[in-house]
Structure 1
Amino acid sequence: MKTRTVTRHRWEPHTVDGETELVRVAYDVEVPLPPRDWDQLVRTAVTAGACLLVTVSVIWSTASIGDLLAIVVVSAAAYGAAVAFDTAWIMCMAVEWLCRYDPPRARTARRAGHVALLLAMGAVFAHGYIADQMVIGAVGALVSALAKGAWTIATSVHARPLDERTQQWVAKRRAKIDGQRAMIPVRRDLLRSQALIAAERAALAGPDSSPDADPDESGQSAARPDEDDQPVPSGPMTVKDAVRTALDSGISDPDRVLAYVRKVADANAKAETVATYIRRAKLAG
């Protein structure tokens, strides 16, 4: 049985001048060597081969399509645009891999990748046709097809298909979590909108709109009292009017007067302000 050497550490006492301390000491042990995972090696080789073919395809398509487009545009723009042909179907393959547990979305990416691949192959063949080298154009177009096929096979090696019931469970869980993630920017946008509305209202109200700026110009409210023993307001009123209405209705308790004022006139009315109006009303009466 094959083994391999592994370095480990342990604490051992070490004494110097009669004083002992624990020190960390390294030592080697032989452990069994696990058997080689040939399946993983083959998967890695397949993936590396697919990446190599994709790289060759991108280089060949870029050179071919770039030379074709350079007939009418500058070379830099032509070769830059040529990269888009193979990049399109490569991106679709990547999306297909990410959506491998979401069949509808993966199917859309797969179809888009096939369309992008056909366009790239057509452009390569068109280059051979323009150069009067149709055979070379056809063979060159197959390079992209081979790369696409190799990558599809490599993807199938790594894929782990789910049964129908598990697939439905994954879809429901993903939909729930995706909904929660989608609400993050929605809530952020709503909070931002509310802040803007509040800021605009504060700016339009002006500095003199505070209910404490002047007892005679307090905020107004059309709310109606719930208690039957309180007078029904006839319309918007100030704190002063609310105090007078409460006293005329037989409410003499300062706390009840304050509660009535806050209900029909100003929810933020101060007790001191109400008490002042009560004293003035009693002196005037």
Structure 2
Amino acid sequence: MTAPVDVGLDIGGSKILGVAVTADGDVLARERVATALGPDGVARGAAAVVEALRARTGRQVSAPIGVGIPGIVDPRRGTVKHAVNLGLHGEWYPLADLLADRLGVPVVVENDVNAATLGARLVEGVADLVYLGLGTGLAAGVVLDGRLRRGIAGAAGEVGHLPLGGFGVERERCQCGQHGCLELVASGRALERAWPVEEGHAAAAVFAASAAGDARAVAVRDRFAAGVAAGVRVLGLAVDPRLVVLGGGVAQVGEPLLTAVGAALRAQAAESPFLASLDLAARLRLVPPDRPVAALGAARLGRTPR
């Protein structure tokens, strides 16, 4: 009898990506559809991806199906709210129940950064790891001794909302309501403000321009890298992980991002023997571009202690 597959979904504002994965972590199939916004659109698109994966693999789906989604998530109830890029506003949206009704299989739901963290842990094969998501905002996921740390209020890893001085944004208001948050410096949105482009991605544009010797681009890149390094430093001092994995949309820049953040970490440690001894730059990794870590992590949610 052919073994069933684990299925994980990464639901984002532009696409829903699903993977069918064996118990050993091999990806048998992928399916991607454009996201239709709103409660019905999200559920309909997610169900379509699962059905397509069933058809492509010819296998039964293990229960439960895992879903990673942005917004505020209650994993125990399988609900989500304030996923504004998906058209999910206000009240708790019972995504797990709605999908389970459509598919006839139980569903578990997790925040997308936490799902990506579990995927990064699977890819790297270590039990202590931090995933730093450099997307529109800035947030981290933490795995300690093989277990995902969510926190009492689900706020573990929200380093983007740490107000830190030294970047000149102390008077600027963050979307969270505080002033001077790290996310105002070290996020995709921050790069878009500092280096606006008419098409394409600001991160790719500013790193390309800095590589070509544009002095202003170099300054934007180095300020951004210093902000990311500050987040890495906070996480390193808080939980002392074996690895810090950089992911999210900005991480598609690749090795130049790793080089810039590593250089910033070494510069920040230059006058501190204590920081230098931690060698945080050596712990940095990039998400492999061919590994959809959020979907992979979602596929493992049914095997993860809740």
Task: Report the TM-score range of the alignment, normalised by the length of the smaller protein.
Answer: under 0.3
Q: Which has the larger radius of gyration?
A: 1
Normalising by the residue count of structure 2, what TM-score does the alignment of the two structures yield?
A: 0.22
Normalising by the residue count of structure 1, what TM-score does the alignment of the two structures yield?
A: 0.23
Q: Which has the higher contact order (CA 8 A, sep 6+)?
A: 2
